[in-house]
């Protein structure tokens, strides 16, 4: 028997036929949790504490609305039964639907504005995250879907933020901030997440007197300027680190809770990963600021205040 998932939860519920609103609320609840309907009124779910609590809340709500509901512990009698339960949670069809949606969305990308592309990405990411939360037994379908998602994000980045750097495989040398004061730093114009956050990090923690050049093309980068976040730049993606993280490591900056959480936010929005709760709000603010402001100096000034606020919030959060 698969001991890791050898116990299950069963919600048994019935509602008055007149309770359409209550029925819809129950249906939405079991769908969000990833329950499998064994029959009308019987819903199976992997046993986890948060699942037990959520099903108990649904049962209590159902009872308060004139229905009847119980949460029952279920233990399979054999490994075969356990495998049969697991098979009920195969998400192949959901992943196939997601992949089809990605294919259609990718075809439409070239005709969309950056704001529309960002909105599409946000919607599809929300749907993907919801599916990942209920994929209790990942298999080849989930691996294939992750590859399809990575391809889609790459296509989005190529349009929203053209010239995204390819990760280098090299060591990250430790540098002295004293040698990098009053320098000129250069990156691609029309700042997006990693570039604007990296510029803020440079200005805030590395070179307070930094001057910035916003390039139409990396080829325009002067030889005496410190390039960042483009191929062959002095500071760019290395291994699994985005430019923001490479700057942190290069200058051996003390990774406070604020910087650690900002690094996670930038990494997730730039190359994917676990999305922090604040990420969608930050992305929306940056998208709106890019549409409203017509130069990158103003954009850095405005988004810099947002990053300052997040930095302080994250540090206070840990106290």
- Best CA proximity match to 65, nearest among 134, 1, 118, 14: 14
Task: Report d(CA 314, CA 318) in Å as an integer.
Answer: 7
pLDDT higher than threshold 50 for residue 3: no
Q: Does this model's pTM top 0.85?
A: no
Instruction: Tell me the percentage of the chain whose pLDDT exceeds 70.
Output: 97
Task: Report d(CA 51, CA 45) in Å as an integer.
Answer: 8
Domains belonging to the chain, first-starting first, are 3-87 (3.30.70.240), 92-160 (no CATH), 177-317 (no CATH)
User: What pLDDT was estimated at residue 4?
Assistant: 53
Return the structure tokens found at 242.
């985005």
- With beta carbons less than 8 A apart as the criterion, state whether 229 and 165 touch: yes
pLDDT higher than threshold 70 for residue 293: yes
Chain centre distance of CA 152: 14
Place of tokens 């050049």: 213
- DSSP summary character for residue 37: E
Return the structure tokens found at 57.
């809340």
Mean pLDDT rounded to a whole number for the chain: 91
**Higher pLDDT pick, 156 / 226:** 226
Q: pLDDT (tens digit, 9 = 90+) per residue, 214-245?
A: 999 899 999 999 999 999 999 999 999 999 99
CB atoms within 10 A of CB 112: 16
What are the Cα distances from residue 304, in Å, to 197, 257, 312? 8, 18, 12
- The H-assigned helical ranges of 161-217 are 193-201
pLDDT higher than threshold 90 for residue 22: no
Residues in the chain: 319
Got the DSSP string for 219-273?
Answer: GG--TTSEEBSSTT-SB--BTTB-HHHHHHHHTT----HHHHHHHHHHHHHHH-S
pLDDT higher than threshold 80 for residue 159: yes
């Amino acid at each position: 028997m698969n001991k890791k998932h050898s116990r299950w939860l069963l919600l048994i519920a019935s509602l008055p036929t007149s309770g359409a609103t209550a029925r819809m609320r129950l249906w939405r609840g079991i769908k969000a949790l990833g329950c499998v309907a064994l029959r009308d009124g019987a819903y199976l779910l992997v046993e986890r504490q948060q699942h037990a609590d959520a099903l108990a809340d649904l049962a209590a709500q159902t009872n308060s609305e004139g229905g009847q509901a119980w949460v029952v512990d279920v233990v399979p009698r054999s490994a075969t039964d356990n495998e049969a339960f697991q098979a009920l949670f195969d998400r192949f069809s959901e992943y196939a639907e997601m992949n089809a949606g990605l294919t259609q969305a990718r075809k439409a990308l070239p005709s969309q504005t950056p704001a529309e592309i960002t909105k599409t990405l946000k919607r599809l990411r929300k749907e993907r995250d919801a599916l990942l939360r209920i994929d209790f037994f990942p298999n080849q379908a989930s691996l294939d879907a992750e590859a399809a998602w990575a391809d889609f994000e790459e296509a989005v980045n190529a349009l929203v933020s053209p010239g995204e750097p390819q990760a280098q495989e090299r060591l990250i040398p430790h540098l002295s901030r004293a040698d990098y004061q009053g320098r000129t730093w250069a990156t691609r114009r029309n700042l997006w997440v990693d570039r604007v956050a990296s510029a803020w990090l440079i200005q805030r923690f590395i070179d307070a007197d930094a001057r910035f050049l916003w390039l139409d093309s990396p080829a325009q980068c002067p030889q005496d300027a410190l390039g960042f976040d483009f191929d062959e730049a002095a500071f760019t993606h290395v291994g699994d680190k985005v430019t923001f993280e490479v700057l942190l490591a290069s200058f051996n900056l003390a990774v406070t809770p604020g910087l650690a959480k900002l690094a996670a936010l930038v990494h997730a929005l730039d190359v994917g990963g676990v999305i922090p709760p604040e990420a969608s709000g930050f992305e929306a603010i940056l998208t709106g600021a890019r549409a409203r402001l017509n130069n990158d100096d103003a954009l850095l000034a405005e988004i810099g205040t947002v990053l300052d606020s997040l930095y302080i919030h994250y540090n206070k959060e840990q106290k």
